């Protein structure tokens, strides 16, 4: 493998680390402890593992496409990939920063759609890269359902 192809992994790796870091900027609000007691939700470690998997898998899949092409050749594919990073990074801001599980639900739905669009774009260039995103769609939909359930419990907590 030539150095140029390997060098393209560097910005994707830094982007993934930065996006993951954004998701860990916000303090856990007091209402979240009560929410966890009243609703089924994932632990922070499980969420972190899911986020790391999302960034690593989508980043590597995008690299499989980008390594042999310029960004000019794959503009829409790159846009689809960066949409995944954006929607995934915004979740923590919406859920914890703005205390809006409902907005976080819609963000997860948008993330699932962005992953599906990216997968369709990735298939055009590399079938393996496209298939790598399929489990991420299922994961985003799972998190969307969980966020909606958390919103319902949160609404009850706030209205009590």
Reported as a single tens digit per residue, the pLDDT across 51-97 is 888 888 999 999 999 998 998 999 999 999 999 999 998 988 898 88
Nearest to 35 by CA among 128, 135, 157, 159: 157
What is residue 138's predicted lDDT score, i.e. its pLDDT?
A: 95
CATH number at residue 61: 1.20.1260
* Domains identified in the chain, total number: 1
Reported for 131-134, long-range contacts at CB under 8 A and 24+ positions apart, including other chains, are 132/57, 132/58, 132/60, 132/61, 133/57, 133/58, 133/61
Cα 13 to Cα 18: distance, rounded to the nearest angstrom: 9
Over residues 94-114, mean pLDDT = 93
What is residue 130's predicted lDDT score, i.e. its pLDDT?
A: 96
Over residues 7-29, mean pLDDT = 71
> Which DSSP state fits 74?
T
Residues 16-28 as b or e (16 or more Cβ within 10 Å = b): beebbebbeeeee
Residues in the chain: 160
Reported as a single tens digit per residue, the pLDDT across 11-20 is 777 777 777 7
Q: Which of the given ranges, 28-32, 51-55, 76-80, 154-158, has the highest pLDDT on average?
A: 76-80
* Segment among 43-57, 81-95, 135-149 with least mean pLDDT: 43-57
What is residue 134's predicted lDDT score, i.e. its pLDDT?
A: 97
For the chain, what is the mean pLDDT? 86
Cα dihedral 134, 138, 139, 145, rounded to 10, equals 160
* Segment among 4-13, 34-43, 83-92, 93-102 with least mean pLDDT: 4-13
Q: What share of the chain in percent tops pLDDT 90?
A: 45
Q: What is the band of 33 on the pLDDT scale with cuts at 50, 70, 90? A: confident
Domain assignment of residue 47, given as a range: 3-159
């Amino acid at each position: 493998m030539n150095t140029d192809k390997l060098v393209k992994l560097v910005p994707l790796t830094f982007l993934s680390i930065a996006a993951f870091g954004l998701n860990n900027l916000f303090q856990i609000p007091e209402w979240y402890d009560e929410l966890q007691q009243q609703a089924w939700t994932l632990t922070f470690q499980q969420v972190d593992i899911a986020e790391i998997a999302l960034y690593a898998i989508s980043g590597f899949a995008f690299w499989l496409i980008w390594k042999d092409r310029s960004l000019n050749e794959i503009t829409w594919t790159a846009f689809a990939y960066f949409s995944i990073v954006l929607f995934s990074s915004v979740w923590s801001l919406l859920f914890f920063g703005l205390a809006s599980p409902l907005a976080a639900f819609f963000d997860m739905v948008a993330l699932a759609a962005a992953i599906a669009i990216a997968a369709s774009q990735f298939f055009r260039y590399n079938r393996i890269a496209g298939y790598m995103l399929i489990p991420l769609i299922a994961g985003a939909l799972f998190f969307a359902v969980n966020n909606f359930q958390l919103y319902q419990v949160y609404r009850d907590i706030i209205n009590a």
